[in-house]
Amino acid sequence: MIRDPQTLEALLDAVNRFVRERLVPAEAIVAETDEIPEDIVREMKELGLFGLTVPEEYGGLGVTMEEEVMVMLAMGQTSPCFRSLFGTTVGIGSQGILFDGTEAQRKKYLPRLATGELIASFALTEPDTGSDAASLRTTAIREGDHYIVNGTKRFITNAPHAGIFTLMARTNPQDKGAGGVSAFIVEADTPGITIGRKDRKMGQRGAHTADVIFENCKVPASQLIGGREGQGFKTAMKVLEKGRIHIAAICVGVAERMQRDALHYAMERNQFGQPIAEFQLVQAMLADSQAEIYAARCMVIDAARQRDAGRNVATEASCCKLFASEMCGRVADRAVQIFGGAGYVSDYGIERFYRDVRLFRLYEGTTQIQQIVIARNLVREAMR
Ligand code: COS
């Protein structure tokens, strides 16, 4: 749903300009230094990017899912590390507070997230808990008006920058499954929290992940999301479901960028006396990528519209994440192929995208988890 086409157009114009004039020129330096320059971070805040999904009453832009998808398609036209900096704050780090938090929790945190003053991270994954999210071991044991948190969270995006963590921890150690898990808002400066060293990753330099270690960390009971124990796994699933549409949109945007770069290269690069774009075997690669990008774009917009209309889109969200992330990987591979030897050389930039997009098939639920979710939902639906 698009609330007001003119307002959205103004926002997209601003984002497109920011991407073109500020982010694209900074891609190489960010990849080299592994840091996003402070002035770019400030401009992201000024544009309202950190508050995209925070409702207007709490100081954000309150975009609908379809509008969010449009902004992510625009943000995808540059290195994905830029989106990552505000992605957890507009997505998995904040939406649990919005969906299931108490009014007091929303009022306390959402306005500061919307301005970018606070960065939110989502702390679910652990050293021994990835796809099987319900098996997490971090505990939060109630003692009076506090919970004592112990455990280690792994690969936590934006952990080194976070002001708050949306933390999933087991409040009922007797219940080893999803029902024993609760969600908390934990302020990053709470004593007992240590952030590990930044992970050295395959790609997405400029986006940082790290371990978050909780040792007898005393979290006030008022930080339990929604004030109810045992709801944390469901909160996480709801947040991830929406996040999957968001990530799928980024996959489409980045695929469009790689396709554009490949097309321009193919038109400039001459072999056998003509641009390689004239050769049908190169054209076949461009055509396959274009068809897949178009298909994924249509899927993502459709799923977003259905979600805005209030429909259950658990299956569609997983279809989008599955197809768009795999599509993006194929487009990256073809783009490198079209660049030929230059595709393997850092100066041309395309190998960086090839490495960056590999993450899309892994995080916020691997391709295999999306397959499981889709198939399970189909079977459940058919059994009704
Ligand atoms: N929305 C709301 N509730 C949901 C839900 C959703 N999308 N998906 C599941 N739930 C609920 C279920 O309804 C169930 O509730 P009841 O017990 O009341 O019936 C509960 O959550 C447990 O669901 P389920 O039985 O399906 O849980 P499983 O342990 O079998 O796990 C998968 C399901 C594998 C799908 C889940 O663990 C998952 O998504 N794993 C991937 C995690 C992930 O994405 N990690 C990335 C880290 S963050 S970057």
Q: Which tens digits make up the pLDDT trace of 245-263?
A: 999 999 999 999 999 999 9
Q: How far apart are CA 141 and CA 171, in angstroms?
A: 6
Tokens 């940082």 locate to: 208
pLDDT at 66: 98
What is the reported pLDDT for 115?
Answer: 97
Q: What is the pLDDT of residue 374?
A: 98
Q: Which of 80, 115, 150 is the last residue of a domain?
A: 115
**How many Å apart are CA 275 and CA 259, to the nearest integer?**
16
| Domain ranges, residue 262 | 234-382
176 and 82 share a domain?
Answer: no
Are 134 and 125 within 8 A, CB to CB? no
| Contact between residue 259 and residue 290 where contact means Cβ atoms under 8 Å apart | yes
What is the distance in A from the centroid of ligand 1 to the CA of 6? 38
Protein residue closest via CA to atom 22 of ligand 1 = 178
Tell me the per-residue pLDDT of 290-336, one tens digit each, with 9 for 90 and over: 999 999 999 999 999 999 999 999 999 999 999 999 999 999 999 99
User: In testing the pocket of ligand 1, which one of 166, 176, 234, 313 has its CB within 8 Å of the most ligand atoms?
Assistant: 234
Check residue 306 and give its pLDDT.
98
Looking at ligand 1, which residue's alpha carbon is closest to its atom 21?
A: 234
Residue ranges lining ligand 1, Cβ < 6 Å: 122, 124-125, 131-134, 178, 233-234, 237-238, 240-241, 314, 363-365, 369, 372-373
Pocket test for ligand 1, best of 138, 209, 237, 319 (most atoms within 8 A of CB): 237
| 29 torsion bin: left (phi>0), alpha (psi -120 to 50), beta (else) | alpha
Q: Average model confidence (pLDDT) for the chain?
A: 98
* pLDDT score at 198: 97
User: Do 111 and 49 reside in the same domain of the chain?
Assistant: yes
Q: Name which residue sits closest to atom 1 of ligand 1, judged by CA.
A: 238
Q: What positions carry a catalytic annotation?
A: 364
Instruction: Report CA(177)–ligand 1 centroid distance (Å).
Output: 11
Question: Are residue 303 and residue 332 in the same domain, yes or no?
Answer: yes
Q: What is the pLDDT of residues 271-295, one digit of tens each?
A: 999 999 999 999 999 999 999 999 9
Which of 115, 137, 171 is the last residue before a domain boundary? 115
Q: Quick one: 264 and 377 in the same domain? A: yes
Whether residues 84 and 220 share a domain: the answer is: no
Q: Find out whether 341 and 269 touch, Cβ atoms under 8 Å.
A: no
Confidence of residue 239 (pLDDT cuts 50, 70, 90): very high
pLDDT in tens, 161-200: 999 999 999 999 999 999 999 999 999 999 999 999 999 9
Rounded alpha-carbon distances, angstroms, from residue 362 to 352, 359, 368:
17, 5, 9
pLDDT at 251: 98
The reported pLDDT for the residue numbered 49 is: 97
Q: Which atom of ligand 1 is nearest to the CA of 135?
A: 29
Mean pLDDT of 363-378: 98
197 and 106 belong to one structural domain: no
CATH of the domain at 282: 1.20.140.10
Specify the residue for token string 């306390």.
108
Ligand 1 centroid distance, CA of 7 (Å): 36
Q: How confident is the model at residue 48 (pLDDT cuts 50, 70, 90)?
A: very high
- What does the pLDDT read at residue 264? 98
Among candidate residues 91, 115, 139, the one where a domain is terminated: 115
93 and 155 in a single domain? The answer is no
Query: With b meaning 16 or more CB within 10 Å and e meaning fewer, what string describes 267-282?
Result: eebeeeeeebbeeeeb
307 CA from centroid of ligand 1 (Å): 18
CA of 26 to the centre of ligand 1 (A): 38
State the CATH number of the domain containing residue 85: 1.10.540.10
Q: What percent of the chain has pLDDT over 70?
A: 100
Model pLDDT, residue 333: 98
Find the 178 Cα to ligand 1 centroid distance in Å: 8
Residue 16, classified by CB atoms within 10 Å of its CB into exposed (0-12), middle (13-18) or buried (19+), is: middle
CB 12 within 8 A of CB 74: yes
Domain at 185, CATH number: 2.40.110.10
pLDDT in tens, 208-233: 999 999 999 999 999 999 999 999 99
Same domain, residue pair 249 and 333: yes
Same domain, 336 and 320: yes
Q: How many domains does the chain have?
A: 3
pLDDT at position 159, please? 98
Residues 124 and 99 in one domain: no
Nearest CA to ligand 1 atom 12: 234
Residues 282 and 354 in one domain: yes
- Ligand 1, atom 43, residue with closest C-alpha: 365
Q: Which of 253, 338, 252 is nearest to 24 (CA)?
A: 253
Same domain, 241 and 376: yes
Residues 103-138: tens digit of each pLDDT: 999 999 999 999 999 999 999 999 999 999 999 999
Helix (H) / strand (E) element for 92: namely none
Closest-lying ligand 1 atom to the alpha carbon of residue 178: 22
Average pLDDT over residues 145-167: 98
